[in-house]
Amino acid sequence: MESVLNNVSDPKLLEIARKVQDRIRVSPSEGLYLYENAELGFLGALANQIREKRHGNFTYFNRNFHVEPTNICVYDCKFCSYSRLLKHKNDGWEMSEEQILDIVRSYANKPVTEVHIVGGVHPKMGLHYFASLIKKIKEIRPDIHVKAFTAVELHYMCNKAKVSYEEGLRILKEHGQDSLPGGGAEIFDEALRAEIAGDKCTAAEWLEIHETAHRLGMPSNATMLYGHVEKFEHRIDHMERLRTLQDKTGGFNTFIPLKFRNKDNQMSHVPEVSVIEDLRNYAISRIYMDNFGHIKAYWPMIGRSTAQLSLSFGVDDIDGTIDDSTKIYSMAGSEEQSPSLTTAQLVDLIAQAGKIPVERDTLYSVVRDYSKQPITEETV
Ligand code: V47
Ligand code: SF4
């Protein structure tokens, strides 16, 4: 770290670096200064120092699978390559309850710890349908953690069922939902959100749903869609709103920056940002989000090589083994067209980057530390 600082002549960057070393929070204007002026090497050194203080060389992943009940959606976000509007519903898919339960049954003998359920906002798949589905999933697999429904889906299903967010979340929790994924946050700036994410839940509603969930004892994640039409100031504004809520509730597990991919959507004319910008963004996220335990790189989206690099830029988590049923990213032009890795492959990926692979559950309890229990032939 000191050798990096010796090469920095900008007094403001040096002041920010000293603050970070003394664990003093970076302000919004300092965050913006980093985006506008700091080079990758400087940001990486700073972010890596924070990562190592918090997690040493550990890199977390989990064994999960995704269920995407439908890609039919009442909304029409411009960046989305995945949804099929209701009026084009013949191009889309709708899974029956039995099909979804069959997916869960197919994992009967596999040591997965989490199911991630997320999809389009389908007007016929409502709160009570999903509550009963979760109950049936838990009957098949009582040990599994159900991480389900973005705030966008929750906003729609609560409104449609004419219940408050609190009531809706309480019903889902009583039926077995354990936590919320971080999707649907996109970018909080109101004008930009209206431009790219149409009339889906507002930033204030997204934050209110997560705050309510935290109050009810349901933790969640938070995402930020970056690298499209937003400016650096919008990223800082987004992270600032999340950091403020985290101060209040402490209910967020992980921050997940999501790189905008431009294949087959209404924003295909917008160029994608470079890998350098991805790494800078991870590093600034680690520096800025000082009250978030973890920064996750979603490997199917950025690809395995960038995911490995990100581990030296503040990232300590690369999601999970996932499953090839995940379509939201492959349809948007992600690096990985069939995003599935065996546990052995994920462990290898992390170890090749010089880190210690640690399997975690959704709440970051350690399931297996691979430096103490190395990979064996029976690990799948
Ligand atoms: O909200 C949609 C994003 C999100 C594109 O909580 C796109 O553990 C890039 O939130 N380019 C849903 N991104 C996925 C999500 C998620 C994924 C993995 C783990 C977790 C977690 C959450 O996908 C959407 C949106 O921001 N998205 N289209 C696109 N073209
Ligand atoms: Fe629907 Fe989500 Fe796609 Fe928006 S991002 S159109 S809410 S599936």
Reduced 3-state DSSP string for the chain: CHHHHHCCCCHHHHHHHHHHHCCCCCCHHHHHHHHHHCCHHHHHHHHHHHHHHHHCCEEEEECEEEECCECEECCCCCCCCCCEEHHHHHHCCECCHHHHHHHHHHCCCCCCCEEEECCCCCCCCCHHHHHHHHHHHHHHCCCCEEEECCHHHHHHHHHHHCCCHHHHHHHHHHCCCCEECCCCCCCCCHHHHHHHHCCCCCHHHHHHHHHHHHHCCCCEEEEEEECCCCCHHHHHHHHHHHHHHHHHHCCEEEEEEEECCCCCCCCCCCCCCCHHHHHHHHHHHHHHCCCCCEEECCHHHHCHHHHHHHCCCCCCEEEECECCCCCCCHHHCCCCCCCECCHHHHHHHHHHCCCEEEEECCCCCEEEECCCCCCCCCCC
Q: What is the pLDDT of residue 5?
A: 73
User: Nearest-CA neighbor of 112 among 70, 67, 150?
Assistant: 67
Which of 347, 343, 300, 355 minimizes the C-alpha distance to 51?
355
Is the domain of 45 the same as that of 133?
Answer: no
Could you tell me if 373 and 365 are in contact, meaning their C-beta atoms sit under 8 angstroms apart? no
User: For the chain, how many structural domains are there in total?
Assistant: 2
Indicate whether 62 and 41 sit together in one domain.
Answer: no
Select from 12, 30, 52 the last residue of a domain: 52
- Amino acid type, 292: F
Residues 297 and 231 in one domain: yes
Say yes or no: 35 and 92 in one domain: no
Does residue 310 sit in the same domain as residue 189?
yes
Q: Give the torsion through C-alpha atoms of 178, 184, 185, 187, to 10 deg.
A: 170
Range of the domain at 17: 2-52
Helices 151-161 and 165-174 meet at what angle, rounded to 10? 100
pLDDT of 324: 45
Question: Domain boundary residue among 10, 28, 52?
Answer: 52
Q: What is the pLDDT of residues 334-351, one digit of tens each?
A: 555 556 778 888 899 999
Same domain membership, residue 101 and residue 12: no
Pocket of ligand 1 (CB under 6 A): 79-81, 150, 181-184, 186, 221, 223, 225, 256, 258, 260-261, 265, 298, 319, 328, 332
- 196/77 Cα distance (integer angstroms): 6
Measured CA to CA, the distance from residue 374 to residue 327 in angstroms comes to 32
Kindly state whether residues 179 and 31 are assigned to the same domain: no
Confirm if 255 and 287 have CB atoms less than 8 A apart.
no
Of the candidates 21, 16, 89, the one whose C-alpha atom is nearest the C-alpha of residue 49 is 21
Residues in the ligand 2 pocket, defined by CB under 6 Å: 73, 75-77, 80, 82-83, 120-121, 152, 200
Choice from 72, 77, 125, 157 to test ligand 2 binding pocket (greatest atom count within 8 A of CB): 77
User: How far is it, in rounded angstroms, from Cα 202 to Cα 191?
Assistant: 10
Beta bridge partners of 360: 366
For residue 193, the domain's CATH number is 3.20.20.70
What whole-number distance in Å separates Cα of residue 345 and Cα of residue 302? 17
Indicate which ligand has the atom closest to the C-alpha of 238.
Answer: 1
Whole-angstrom distance, CA of residue 261 vs CA of residue 258: 9
Quick one: pLDDT at residue 292?
98
Q: How far is CA 379 from the centre of its chain?
A: 26
Candidates 338, 225, 314; CA nearest to 272 is 225
Examine the domain organization and report whether 38 and 93 are in the same domain.
no
Read off the pLDDT of residues 4-60 as tens digits, 9 standing for 90 and up: 777 788 999 999 999 999 999 999 999 999 999 999 999 999 999 999 999 999 999
| Tokens matching residue 332 | 């948007």
| Alpha carbons 154 and 53: distance in angstroms, whole number | 36
Q: Of 80, 88, 266, which is best to mutate to test ligand 2, by the most ligand atoms within 8 angstroms of its C-beta?
A: 80
Considering the domain architecture, whether residues 244 and 303 belong to the same structural domain is answered as yes
Does one domain contain both 223 and 115?
A: yes
Q: Which residues contact 23 (CB under 8 A, 6 or more apart)?
A: 290
Give the per-residue pLDDT at 280.
98
Residues of the chain below pLDDT 70? 2-3, 84-90, 322-339, 377-380
Please list, in sequence order, all residues whose beta carbon lies within 8 angstroms of the beta carbon of residue 175, skipping any fewer than 6 positions away. Answer: 131, 132, 134, 135, 138
How confident is the model at residue 261, as a pLDDT? 94
Q: What is the pLDDT of residue 161?
A: 97
What is the number of other CB atoms lying within 10 angstroms of the CB of residue 346?
25
Return the closest-CA partner of residue 127 out of 171, 74, 94, 177.
171
Q: Residue 185 C-alpha to ligand 2 middle, in angstroms? A: 11
Q: In this structure, are 146 and 217 located in the same domain?
A: yes
Q: Which of 71, 72, 82, 225 to mutate to test the pocket of ligand 2 (most atoms within 8 A of CB)?
A: 82
Residue 205 and residue 88 share a domain: yes
